[in-house]
Amino acid sequence: MSDLRIVDHPLVKHHMTRLRDVRTPPSEFRLLVQRLAVLLAYEATQDLKLIEHEIETPIQQTQGSQLGERIGLVPILRAGLGMVDPILNLIPAAEVWHLGLYRDEATARPVEYYSKLPPGRPVDLALVVDPMLATGGSAAAALEALHAWGVPQTRLLSLIAAPEGVQEVARRFPATPVHVCALDTCLNDRHFIVPGLGDAGDRIFNTTNEG
């Protein structure tokens, strides 16, 4: 069974309503993605490992804490890019590694066209970010690449998900928590999330009317 974690918060519900609205312009859509990414990342990082760190305040020395592991932020191109900057503001030391995957519209299967995972020691924890978890194919392909790199811990952060996508990730990567703002009803015959929000990449980058 999937380790599915849905962020149940009034601000999330408020921003999700505006995000879904077809009348929301791209400029506002991008801001909403950023706000939701922050709320989602906050929930998904509550158990990060800490180490003690001694500092000196203007008054005296004291003990504090700092993150104790290397964290990788892995956006699935292109829509995942919309979630990177707000999460980097929360975790400035995070490393960003890009994976380019697109869905073949005929088969609904993921096709990899870009990978920037380096050789050598992998990060301790990878946060895979993609606004939409539909069939789960792209997310599973990204997690497969990260596991091949040797990443010991992975988490998937998506704004909305379909049950089919959650089940696919759970089937292939049952140890990976899936953090979402909303779990929708299903996929339609074109593999779009219902009720969904359309194509997140097109709405973020204002390419809805491209020919």
Annotate 45-80 with DSSP letters as a single string.
TTT--EEEEEEE-SS-EEEEEEE-S-EEEEEEETGG
107: annotated active-site residue = yes
Confidence grade of residue 210 (pLDDT, cut at 50, 70, 90) = very low
pLDDT above 50 for 53: yes
Please provide residue 86's backbone torsions phi and psi, each rounded to the nearest 5 degrees. Answer: -65, -35
Is 16's pLDDT higher than 90?
yes
Active site residue 103: yes
In angstroms, the first-to-last Cα distance of the chain is 41
User: Minimal CA–CA distance to 75: which of 156, 2, 173, 187?
Assistant: 156
Whether the pLDDT of residue 59 is over 80: the answer is yes
What would the mean pLDDT of 130-141 be, rounded to a whole number?
A: 93
Catalytic residue selected from 62, 107, 207, 208: 107
What is the per-residue pLDDT for 167?
96
Please provide the average confidence, as pLDDT, over all residues in the chain.
Answer: 91
The full set of domain ranges for the chain reads 4-46+71-205
Please give the pLDDT value at position 173. 96
85, HSE (Cβ side, Cα atoms, 13 Å): 9
Question: Rounded CA gap, 197 and 77, in Å?
Answer: 18
Per the CB < 8 A criterion, the answer to whether 127 and 140 are in contact is no
- pLDDT score of 128: 97
| Residue 137 and residue 108 in contact, taking contact as beta carbons nearer than 8 Å | yes
Q: Pairing between strand 71-77 and 99-103?
A: parallel
List CB contacts of 4: < 8 A, sequence separation 6 or more. Answer: 161, 166, 170, 177, 178, 180, 183
pLDDT at 211: 38
pTM over 0.85: yes
pLDDT at 102 exceeding the cut of 70: no
4-46+71-205 CATH choice from 3.40.50.2020, 1.10.3720.10, 2.30.42.10, 3.30.420.10: 3.40.50.2020
Catalytic residue among 35, 103, 124, 172: 103
By C-alpha distance, which of 168, 166, 190, 194 is closest to 180?
166
